[in-house]
Amino acid sequence: MCFRDYGCNWNVDFMQEFASDVAHQKWWRVHDLMPKKLQNFCLLSTQRKANLEWDRRQAEKANYSDGHWRLNVTDARLRICKDDYCNWKSMLLHWGDPMYNDGGPGFKKPAKKLPGL
């Protein structure tokens, strides 16, 4: 899930080949036609909000020429919390630090073993 304002693929260099403003707008038209009950599945987790902002900041540092990172993000889902912990901005303080279990860059989750394999 990405910001409503623009597709998050613009903020990650190896994902830019999949970025499309037209497809993004089409998705949101479909989203808006869905029942509210289904739209709830599209809410952003606290961790996802932090991840999207981290990627936006990285795109800014790299000065990506498409300039999507410059857009003011007004997505109302940033103000809706679906998790027990809601302060995604505080997650950014240690995002990417392997000493913190924030799920950000540098955090390695152990691989799960599948039964029977």
Answer whether residue 52 is part of any domain.
Answer: yes
Answer whether residue 112 is part of any domain.
Answer: no
**Which tens digit of pLDDT belongs to each residue from 91-110?**
888 887 777 665 555 445 54
Contact yes or no for 102/47 (Cβ under 8 A): yes
The answer to whether residue 81 scores a pLDDT higher than 90 is yes
How far does Cα 57 stand from its chain's mean position?
12
Domain that holds residue 49: 8-94
The answer to whether residue 24 scores a pLDDT higher than 90 is yes
Answer whether residue 66 is part of any domain.
Answer: yes
Mean pLDDT along residues 57-71: 95
- How many angstroms separate the CA atoms of 2 and 25, rounded? 12
Rg of the chain, C-alpha, whole Å: 16
> What is the count of structural domains for the chain?
1
Q: Give CA separation, 34 vs 20, 52, 66, in Å.
A: 21, 24, 30
The answer to whether residue 48 scores a pLDDT higher than 80 is yes
The answer to whether residue 112 scores a pLDDT higher than 70 is no
Answer whether residue 24 is part of any domain.
Answer: yes
Answer whether residue 105 is part of any domain.
Answer: no
